[in-house]
Amino acid sequence: MFFIVLSSIVFISSGTLLSFNQSSPSYDIVCPGDTLVFTCITSGGAVVWRIDNAIRIMSSTYKTDQINSFVLTITDITNNTITSTATNESVTSELNGTIIGCSGDGIYFKTLTVHIAGVPVSFINIKLIPINNNTVLMNWYYEKNDEVHCIQYYNITIISDDNINGHMISNKSSATIPSLIIGTNYSFIIIPIDTIGREGPPSSLIQYIWNVPAQVVNISWDQISTDSITIWWNINEDVTLHYPPVHYIVKVHNITITTDTNVTINGLYPNNEYTVYIKPANAIGDGQLINITVAIAVPITGLLTGLITSIITSIIVYCIMKNKGNTLRERSPVDIGPIYDLPTISNEQQEQVIDTTPNTAYGQIQ
């Protein structure tokens, strides 16, 4: 093995680069303050490092060196194979974009670029999930997911009824907030802090109404079949604020639980009235119950069917009776029984002859 140095060009006879990688940390984007290590393995008895165009040649007789803030060290020599590292104990944001190169012969270099995370950014998809009537779980997503590991912690400010009520520290993208009071309006502000203490932008003010749900309004319903209705309503909430998720308990002849603001009720009977009860509820408790009365009518198709059936039945009965009368008149005397001669009465005056012969039985003279 021999070296030839011409200006900034270095040639090492028979040297070969076997591998080159960022061995620590395991993630590609490095956080400010991290220890950054590159590992290079060569054969041929030497290794050449190049950082910001500065070159160092290392071998078994020259095992340590330094380029700027990177310490170069040969950590192992086995036969003719050399393992070496370039280590920066605490990287700064100024190193972002630095190109690190390694070679076995000084001509053919493999290069890697240093990527340092920037200043923290804001969040997306902030959600609040009630656990019970005094505890809420809040979680969120960091906008740059490939740099989230560089956030050291989150500073959470808790405001109740426009007064700062406390602070919390969370080292992950969620926090459980206890001891909430029913009927209180809360606000939360989240600020990310990275590994060197840089603050990101605060989240927008997250306003949350910690209370049972308000009574539903604008209830309407429609009969959709002989035994079914659809009923719907509106929720009485300010769309600019956050509320605990609501579900609705709807009771008629059975109970239906839904998270929608409408429900279809089956199994009703025509010509009946039903009372429908609707109660909103959430993890904190139940809202005010409201009810309406619905009347299930017989659809017009059913009325027409009944009317037509009645008319047809009447016509059939009429025809039967008429036919029976004609049959009676056409029958013979034998068919209808014996005929008797009845005396007749005449209004004409008839002449009577009176006998005037004396009756001698009582001594009368003729």
Q: What is the pLDDT of residue 242?
A: 74
Q: Are residues 14 and 79 part of one domain? A: yes
Q: Which residue has the higher pLDDT, 363 or 77?
A: 77
Mean pLDDT across 172-200: 94
Q: Has residue 241 got a pLDDT over 80?
A: no
Place of tokens 């310490």: 71
Question: What are residue 343's DSSP bridge partners?
Answer: none
**pLDDT value at 112 more than 70:** yes
pLDDT at 329 over 70: no
CATH number of the domain to which 7 belongs: 2.60.40.10
pLDDT of residue 342: 44
Domain match, 63 and 111 both: yes
Question: Are residues 10 and 67 both part of a single domain?
Answer: yes
Better-scored residue on pLDDT, 46 or 335: 46
Domain endpoint, select from 210, 236, 263:
210
Of 116, 141, 157, the position where a domain reaches its end is: 116
Share the mean pLDDT of the chain. 83
CA distances from 75 to 3, 40, 83, 84 (A): 21, 10, 6, 5
Does the structure show a pLDDT above 80 at 354?
A: no
84 plus 136 within the same structural domain: no
Q: State how far the Cα of 310 lies from the Cα of 330, in Å rounded to an integer.
A: 31
Residues 37 and 98 in one domain: yes
Residue 74 has pLDDT above 60, yes or no: yes
Provide the pLDDT confidence category of residue 12 given band limits of 50, 70 and 90. low
Note whether residue 56 is domain-resident.
yes
Q: Write out the two tokens for 126.
A: 């902030």
pTM, rounded to two decimals: 0.66
**Could you give the number of structural domains in the chain?**
3
Q: 221 and 202: one domain?
A: no
Say whether pLDDT at 328 is over 70: no
Q: Which pLDDT value is given to residue 55?
A: 95
What is the percentage of the chain residues whose pLDDT exceeds 90?
A: 60
For residues 148-152, average pLDDT: 94
For residues 149 and 194, what is the distance between their CA atoms, to the nearest angstrom? 9
Question: What was the pLDDT predicted at 3?
Answer: 45
pLDDT tier for residue 115 given thresholds of 50, 70 and 90: very high
In 10 A of CB 40, how many CB atoms?
A: 28
| Average pLDDT rounded to a whole number, residues 20-46 | 95
110 and 9, same structural domain?
yes
Count of beta carbons in the 10 Å neighbourhood of residue 38: 23
What confidence tier does 91 reach under pLDDT thresholds 50, 70, 90?
very high
Residues 238 and 192 in one domain: no
Averaged pLDDT for residues 340-348: 46
Question: Does an H or E element contain 315, and which?
Answer: helix 300-329
Instruction: Examine the fold and report which residue of 116, 141, 166 is the final residue of a domain before the chain moves on.
Output: 116
Q: Determine the average pLDDT of the residues in 275-286.
A: 92
Does residue 231 belong to any structural domain of this protein?
Answer: yes
For residue 362, is it within any domain? no
- Is the model's pLDDT at 336 over the cut of 60? no
What pLDDT score does 343 carry?
Answer: 47
Are 257 and 279 members of one domain? Answer: yes
pLDDT interval class at 47 (50, 70, 90): very high
Q: What element of type H or E holds 322? A: helix 300-329
User: Is a pLDDT exceeding 80 seen at residue 332?
Assistant: no
* Same domain membership, residue 291 and residue 222: yes
Is 147 inside any structural domain?
yes
pLDDT of residue 113: 96
What pLDDT does residue 236 have? 82
> 91 with 158, same domain?
no
Average confidence (pLDDT) over 5-33:
78
Q: What is the pLDDT of residue 28?
A: 93
Handedness of CA 84, 88, 94, 96 (dihedral sign): positive
Give the separation between CA 77 and CA 84, rounded to whole angstroms. 9
How would DSSP label each residue in 220-272?
A: EEEEEETTEEEEEEE----TTSB----EEEEESSSEEEESSSEEEE----TTE
pLDDT band at 265 (very low <50, low <70, confident <90, very high): very high
**Is 150 domain-assigned?**
yes
Q: Which domain holds residue 58?
A: 3-116
> In this model, does residue 341 exceed pLDDT 70?
no
Q: Residue 349: what pLDDT? A: 45
Taking 70 as the threshold, does the pLDDT of residue 246 lie above it?
Answer: yes
Q: Residue 318: inside a domain, yes or no?
A: no
- pLDDT score at 350: 45
Collapsing DSSP to helix, strand or coil, 77 comes out as strand
Instruction: Flag whether 163 is in a domain.
Output: yes
Decide if 222 is inside a domain. yes
Average pLDDT over residues 291-319: 71
Q: Are residue 24 and residue 112 in the same domain, yes or no?
A: yes
